[in-house]
Structure 1
C-alpha cells in the first residue's frame, strides 16, 4: 500500500504583491504619500527595528489572501527594515502595523474608506491618520480598547508612537519632527542637501585660505629671521 503524504493547503495559497490599483490618483496625493513615507523613514533611519512602507499589501490572516489592504503609508515597530513583496503578518512575529496614513483624493469613496477603517480597527492599528490635501482636513483616530476613536483636537496633536506633531494652516498641513524640523518634500530635501554641500565647500575654501595666509605669514617671518642673521643679529638674543 502506498501512503500519501499530507500537504498543508496553506502553503499553496498565493498572496499577490499587487492589488492592481494605482498608488495614487493624482500628483498631489502621490507627493504627500512620498513625503510622509520618506520623512518617517528618515526619522527612524538609525532604528533597525522600525519598518516603513508605502502602498504595500498587508495580509493579517494566514490562509485568507482576500483579507488585505495596502495603506498609503504604514509603520511597524518591532520589525526589521528590508524589502518585502507584501507584509504577511504571520511571518512578522504576528506584529500588526501600529500606525497607518491614508491620503485622500477625489477618487476615494466613503464606502471604501469605511471598509478601511473597519479593517484597521479589527486588525490592530493603534494610530490612523487621514489627510485630505484638497480640503486641508486631517482626521486622526486613536485606539481605545477594541475601537479606533476620533481625536477631538487634531491641530497640534503629537503622535505617541512617532513623536511627530501636526499643525494645520489655512494653506496646508505641516508635520514637525520631534526636533522641530518640518517634513520636507524630496525636492526640498535635495535643496537643503545642496545648501549644506555649498556651506561645507565654502567652509573648506575659507579654511584653505586661512591656511595659505598662515603659511605666507610663516614665510615672511622666516625671511625676516634670515635677514637679521645675515646682519649678525641673533633673533633669539633680542
Structure 2
C-alpha cells in the first residue's frame, strides 16, 4: 500500500517545461546562445546519439520539480536527438548533460552563476563554460579524473581551467580563442563558429563563385567549339582544293 501511494504521489508531480524566465536579456546574449547552440548542432549533425539543446529545463532528480536549471546551451552524449519539453534525467538513462554553456547578461550575473556552478558540480556536468560578451571574458571548469586531481583531493570536483585562451574542450574537441574584442570558437576541423548571417553570406559567395566558374567553363567550351569548327572548315577547304587540283591533272601531294 505504501508503494502504491508513493507511485500515485509521484505521478501527480508536474515538471513544467518553462520556468517563466526569458531565454535572453538582450540581443547580444541571445546571439551568442544561438551561435553556440546551432554550431554544436552542426558539429554533431551526423551523430544520432548526441543531443544538443538551448534554454531547456533540466530536472536531474525524479520526484522533485524544484531541483532544476536551464543551461543556455547543453550537450548530452549517449542520448538520441529529438524534441523534448524538458530534460528529465531519469527518462534519459540517467545521463546528465556533459557540457554546459552560460552567457552572462546584466540580469544573469555572478550570484546566479555561483548557484549554477553548485548545481552543475553536484549533478555531474563534466565541462562548464561562462562567457561574458560585454567584458569579453571566458571562464571554464572541467571535471578531472582521479589521476589528474591535485594531490590530496579525493572528490571529483569541477576544477577551474587556468588558461582558457587556446583551450580545447576534451568532450567537444572545439577550441576557444579570445581576440582583442571577442571570443572565437573553432570546430575540430579548424573552421570558425559562424552566425546564421555569416553562413548565408558564405553560401551566397560560394554560389556566385560556382556560377562564375561555370560561366568561364562555358566560355572556354564555346571558344574550343569555335576553334574546332574553324579547323573543320579549313579541312573542308583543303579537301575541295585537292579535288580541284586532281581534276586539273595536278597531284596535290
- What is the TM-score with the length of structure 2 in the denominator? 0.85
Indicate the structure (1 or 2) with the bigger Cα radius of gyration: 2
Q: Does structure 2 conserve the Cα–Cα contact (< 8 Å) formed by 1:36 and 1:183?
A: yes
Partner of 1:81: 81
Aligned-CA RMSD value: 2.1
Q: For 1:81 and 1:205, locate their aligned partners in 2 and report how far apart those are by CA, in whole Å.
A: 42
SS in 2 for 1:138: strand
* Structure 2: distance between partners of 1:109 and 1:166: 22
- Alpha-carbon displacement from aligned partner over 1:186-235 (angstroms, at most 9, x marks no partner): 211111111111111111111222222222222222222222222336xx
- 1:232: which partner in 2? 242
Q: List aligned pairs for 1:145-224, cutoff 5 A.
A: 145-224=155-234
- Residues of 2 paired with 1:116 and 1:7: CA distance? 30
Post-superposition Cα deviations, 1:67-98, rounded to whole Å, max 9, x if no partner, equal 11110000111112221111111222211110
1:7 is displaced (CA, Å) by 5.8
Judged with a 3 Å threshold, the aligned counterparts in structure 2 of structure 1 residues 174 and 214 are, in CA distance, closer, same or farther, namely same
Cα 1:64–1:196 shift into 2, 3 Å: same
Note the C-alpha offset of 1:6.
9.5
* Structure 1 spans left out of the alignment, 5+ residues: none
Tell me the CA shift for residue 110 of structure 1: 2.8
Match of 1:114 in 2: 114
Matched, 1:17 2:17: yes
CA contact (8 A) 1:29 1:104 kept: yes
Deviations 1:45-77 (A, max 9, x none): 222221111111111122222211110000111
Number of aligned residue pairs: give it: 232
* 1:36-115 matched pairs, under 5 angstroms: 36-115=36-115
Structure 1 residues 7 and 131: CA distance shift in structure 2, 3 A: closer
Task: Confirm or deny that 1:130 pairs with 2:130.
Answer: yes
Residue 31 of structure 1 corresponds to which residue in structure 2?
Answer: 31
Measured in 2, the distance between the counterparts of 1:62 and 1:53 equals 20
Mapped partners of 2:76, 2:224: distance in 1: 55
Question: What is the alpha-carbon distance in structure 2 between the residues aligned to residue 79 and residue 213 of structure 1?
Answer: 57
Determine if contact 1:122/1:146 at 8 Å carries over to the other structure.
no
Separation in 2, partners of 1:193, 1:210:
26
CA distance in 2, matches of 1:207, 1:162: 41
1:102 and 1:123 map into 2 onto residues whose CA distance is 16
Q: 1:232 to 1:11 in 2, by over 3 A?
A: farther
